[in-house]
Structure 1
């Protein structure tokens, strides 16, 4: 059974709905998203936290669609185009502002769906989060273990629940280990290739309403960032787990290619 891994990353897309921070008009939304200082911070999160682990995936067979508007200010639009030349898995889609957010997401993803695949592993990825370097490989392996469940329903979620909550401030990086179910990052929604939906069609906090799910609570699989520009600034519910500083640094390096010193050095730029 061939699985296509297909993700969507929204980068400052000027569309209404689909976010917890809402605006009444496109003009208000554009002013908020395209604020020069905010864009500079988002670009730093994207290029220095989100992208390194996508570059380093042990299984390179995936597509990550980066969705933004055709009027994204320079130099960011040109830099996104450059990134798609540098990282072959990245595909840039310029979607005009749309009121129906799910339709906009489908417009971005649809050109990249492989109709010959048996199943599409849809995932969403925020531009300030990170997944472990074996997320794609682990998802394929674990889907194969439980594919009978997907065959019986046609929809299924696979959730990697063990992660780190990252906060950056004047004192550097603070990382809080948490087990959080269906957080949204490192979460895959398996759908048939002919179904015109993406991972965004399903509220990740309510997935059991629509499909069965499998939670994999080990190993460490994601970093979720919490900061002033987050669409949701809350850590949310979860279970605490412990990592000593030396263990944390080893896990950051092994799972993400990061170091605690490196994240501390990013704090002045991203806080």
Structure 2
């Protein structure tokens, strides 16, 4: 690794952003899409998970040197925009980017570009949804992994890094259940792409499951690195691509508390 190497880490979250495309359950009519995304009952459910699960995991990161972009539509009602600003205020590096409804990939490219720093030689951009969580060391592990692998993969070639071990948290009226998963293809939660600064390609360019077909890709299978929530508002079909095993809360509790800023009791009630 050269002495001048400076890797800037930027996360991007699409917070009910009404993009043209980018949704599995989408509608070509932007008004219909906004009506669905901005439904107050739906947004209240999203904020419950965002405030109780996603934000605590970002605030608990052992490596705090990262930017976090929250991409929203300019049409998001003020009451929800204000609530978002309040929720992210404690997070250093947090920034809301409000755009009109644009094609999905164009919107995320613009949002990433707004956060790039002049001093950076490379950018590691990762993705995260507003209802999922990362383990405490996710950013730190990402930084170490990129620094170790980039000289091998090539300083100018895109490098995809992530984790494929974690938990699916299924929300049910009768009580939440938890599953341990080990994915065989990359999962999108916290998945990152490292490129030289200024390169327009980023982690949203391809379906995350197919990254290994297009890029040098490394995923860590040792650490429980994510919690994915399964619920009625999921846009995509929440299924694991590899091993999935239901586990008891008693068995899961020690690992959850060792790697995440939650207790098993908190996740049972989230």
Shift of 1:188: 1.4
Post-superposition shift, 1:152?
A: 5.5
TM-aligned CA deviation for residue 115 of structure 1 = 3.6
Could you tell me how far apart the structure 2 residues matched to 1:159 and 1:41 are? 27
Q: Which runs of 5+ in 1 are unaligned?
A: 267-271
Match of 2:132 among 129, 132, 136: 129
Q: Decide which of 117, 122, 125 is 2:120's aligned counterpart.
A: 117
Q: 1:216 aligns with which of 204, 212, 220?
A: 220
Task: Note the C-alpha offset of 1:150.
Answer: 3.2
Listed as ranges, the gaps of 5+ residues in structure 2 are: none
Which residues of 2 match residues 180-219 of structure 1 at below 5 A? 180=183, 181-219=185-223
Check if 1:175 corresponds to 2:183. Answer: no
Residues 227-254 of structure 1 deviation map (CA, whole Å, 9 limit, x = unaligned): 1101113313212367554341111112
1:14 aligned partner: 18
Contact 2:63 2:140 (8 Å CA) reproduced? yes
Match 1:108 to one of 106, 111, 129: 111
Which residue of structure 2 lines up, in the alignment, with residue 49 of structure 1? 53
4+ residue segments displaced more than 3 Å: 240-247
Aligned to 2:94: 90
Residue number among 84, 102, 113 corresponding to 1:80 in the alignment: 84
C-alpha separation in 2, matches of 1:108 and 1:159: 21
Q: Work out whether residues 153 and 211 of structure 1, in 8 Å CA contact, stay in contact via their aligned partners in 2.
A: no
Deviation per residue, 1:127-163 (Å, 9 max, x gap): 0010101100011112222122332651111121101
Query: Is the contact made by 1:106 and 1:196 (CA closer than 8 Å) also made in structure 2?
Result: yes
8 Å contact 1:95–1:107 — kept in the other structure? no
Q: Distance in 1 between matches of 2:148 and 2:80?
A: 41
Task: Specify the SS of the correspondent of 1:228.
Answer: coil
Match of 1:29 in 2: 33
Instruction: Please say which of residues 200-209 and 53-62 is displaced more in the overlay.
Output: 200-209
- Contact 1:131 1:223 survives alignment (8 Å): yes
CA contact (8 A) 2:136 2:259 kept: yes
Instruction: Sort the Cα spacing of 1:228 and 1:245 in 2 relative to 1 into closer, same or farther, 3 A.
Output: closer
Match in the other structure for 1:39: 43
Query: What is the root-mean-square deviation in Å for CA atoms of aligned residues?
Result: 1.6
Of 108-117 and 3-12, the range deviating more from structure 2: 108-117
Deviations 1:181-238 (A, max 9, x none): 3110131111111102331112211112321111210111001111110111331321
Q: 1:159 aligns with which of 153, 162, 166?
A: 162
**Taking structure 1 as the reference length, what is the TM-score of the superposition?**
0.92
Q: Deviations over 1:60-105 (max 9, x none)?
A: 000110000122123210122233432222110001111x111111
Count residues in correspondence.
Answer: 265
* Deviations 1:17-48 (CA, angstroms, capped at 9, x unpaired): 01111102101100110111001001111111
Residues 244 and 264 from structure 1, CA distance in 2 versus in 1: closer, same or farther, beyond 3 angstroms? closer
